[in-house]
Structure 1
Amino acid sequence: MNIKQYLDSTYLKTASQAGISEEENSLVVKNAIQEAIDEEFKLIMIRPEYVSLAKEMIVNANSALLVGTVIDFPEGTSSIETKIKEANEAVENGADDLDFVCNYEAFKNGDISLVKEEILIGTQIGLANNKTVKWIIEAAALSDKEIIQLSALIKNVVISNFKEDDYTSVFVKSSTGFYQTENNLPNGATVHSIIIMLENASPLSVKAAGGVRSYEDAVEMISLGVKRIGTSAAKTIADGKNTSNQY
């Protein structure tokens, strides 16, 4: 199976997180964009400040590669106003996919109205600008019951407020890839969690991120029904090798 069109090749580390200089980190990002172009992956997922660079490289290469970026990453606890500001900037810079971190802490604390509002407004911004919207629920921070409830909440907001034709442009995504789990366990994309998400997010699509570490993992996720896979080791996985990368 050629899995490349399922892969969102991902690099989201800041220079400090990577332990390198800003200049060195920019070069890592540039190389990641070029690799995604060369390998014909579905998308390159990068931090907002690099979206314009990616679009320029893609246009120059006459590539079909999409550009995705993250909103309110990685905690998801900022105000709705902050999410709106970041989303509008990403749209202006040419991002194709907006991956919002859902305020799962507010959800866990029972502030359902806030979560519904940010899902509605964020999704409106994306769809109004013909973008794909993904809501990251950080599955490793949730119980099975909470995964069910939050996946269903996102689905219900979308079904209640948007046209059926829009459903394919909204995803529920398992993880930021940055959530710290014990013993380096997958932090989102476990078969168990993904099945729960698929069952409760449908008809919305699911993106598996945080723990897909081999070609076999990727194929298994695709066979379950996942439409996109986020990984910082896209080429390694596409080449049939294993990675120890956390996300």
Structure 2
Amino acid sequence: MNIKQYLDSTYLKSASQAGLSEADNLIVVKNVIAEAIEENFKLVMIRPEYVSLAKEMILKANSMLLVGTVIDFPDGKSDIETKLKEANEAIKNGADDLDFVCNYEAFKNGDLALVKQEIFIGTQIGLANNKTVKWIIEVAALTDKDIIQLSALIKNVVISNFKEENYNSVFVKSSTGFFKTENDLPNGATIPTIIMMLENASPLPVKAAGGVRSYDEAIEMIRLGVKRIGTSAAKKIANGENTPNQY
């Protein structure tokens, strides 16, 4: 098993979130991209404003590294038009993967029609442009019942509207890594949440993001059936090191 081909090396902090100047944060982003190229990871996941930079670096290095970015991040509360505007910009800049934050608050409030509509429209624009689409459901904000039902809702929208050949290009993803929990409870992927997602999203693939801190944990996720893992410590995990609890 080549674990590096499961890893989406991730850096999604803004300069203010990282406590850095814009210039220093740009240096971090460049280093993350360069490391992902050197280590032959599956993908580098970065903020939308850095997609063009990543594509330039990858082309110059003659690398197969994919570029992913986030849409309506991290809250997912924007209207569908805003989500589509961000998605179109990311597509124009060359993003390979579009990780939409699902409007999980609308789901929790019972506005299923809105959620179904954004899943359909967002998936449609991604697939029409040969992109991989991932729907982040933010498991730490949901009950177990919510996780089960939202995973199933996304699955049902996709299988009702798109061809079977597209299923592998539409993921259900656990977390943004930015949700604030009470009492330092896990805010990302855990074994129980991933099992619920796998059981209820299938045949759609699942991405575990947040909370995977070691090679052994990553292997356990892969053995459960996860197809991608988002982490800010991809190199350490690939090298068999344990890491702090981080995205």
Corresponding residue number in structure 1 for 2:156: 156
Corresponding residue number in structure 2 for 1:233: 233
Q: Percent identity?
A: 81
In structure 2, C-alpha distance between the alignment counterparts of 1:102 and 1:223, rounded to whole Å:
26
Q: CA deviation at 1:123?
A: 0.2
Corresponding residue number in structure 2 for 1:56: 56
Deviant stretches of 4+, over 6 Å: none
Corresponding residue number in structure 2 for 1:30: 30
Corresponding residue number in structure 2 for 1:117: 117
Secondary structure, counterpart of 2:67 in structure 1: strand
Secondary structure, counterpart of 2:74 in structure 1: coil
Secondary structure, counterpart of 1:226 in structure 2: coil
1:10/1:45 contact within 8 Å kept: yes
Secondary structure, counterpart of 1:91 in structure 2: helix
In structure 2, C-alpha distance between the alignment counterparts of 1:185 and 1:163, rounded to whole Å:
38
Mapping of residues 180-191 of structure 1, within 5 Å: 180-191=180-191
Corresponding residue number in structure 2 for 1:42: 42
Mapping of residues 196-235 of structure 1, within 5 Å: 196-235=196-235
In structure 2, C-alpha distance between the alignment counterparts of 1:53 and 1:126, rounded to whole Å:
21
Q: What is the root-mean-square deviation in Å for CA atoms of aligned residues?
A: 0.8
- Higher mean C-alpha displacement, 178-187 vs 54-63: 178-187
Asked if residue 168 in structure 1 is aligned to residue 157 in structure 2, the reply is no
In structure 1, C-alpha distance between the alignment counterparts of 2:21 and 2:189, rounded to whole Å:
30
Structure 1's unaligned 5+ residue stretches are: none
Q: CA deviation at 1:183?
A: 4.4
In structure 2, C-alpha distance between the alignment counterparts of 1:106 and 1:125, rounded to whole Å:
21
Q: TM-score, normalised by structure 2?
A: 0.99
What count of residue pairs does the alignment treat as equivalent?
A: 247
Corresponding residue number in structure 2 for 1:101: 101
Corresponding residue number in structure 2 for 1:194: 194
In structure 2, C-alpha distance between the alignment counterparts of 1:191 and 1:184, rounded to whole Å:
17
In structure 1, C-alpha distance between the alignment counterparts of 2:52 and 2:121, rounded to whole Å:
24
Summarize deviations over 1:204-239 as a string: whole Å, max 9, x none: 000000100111110000000000000001001111
Summarize deviations over 1:46-75 as a string: whole Å, max 9, x none: 000000000000000000000000000000
In structure 2, C-alpha distance between the alignment counterparts of 1:152 and 1:115, rounded to whole Å:
12
Structure 2's unaligned 5+ residue stretches are: none
Mapping of residues 83-94 of structure 1, within 5 Å: 83-94=83-94
In structure 2, C-alpha distance between the alignment counterparts of 1:82 and 1:184, rounded to whole Å:
32
Q: TM-score, normalised by structure 1?
A: 0.99
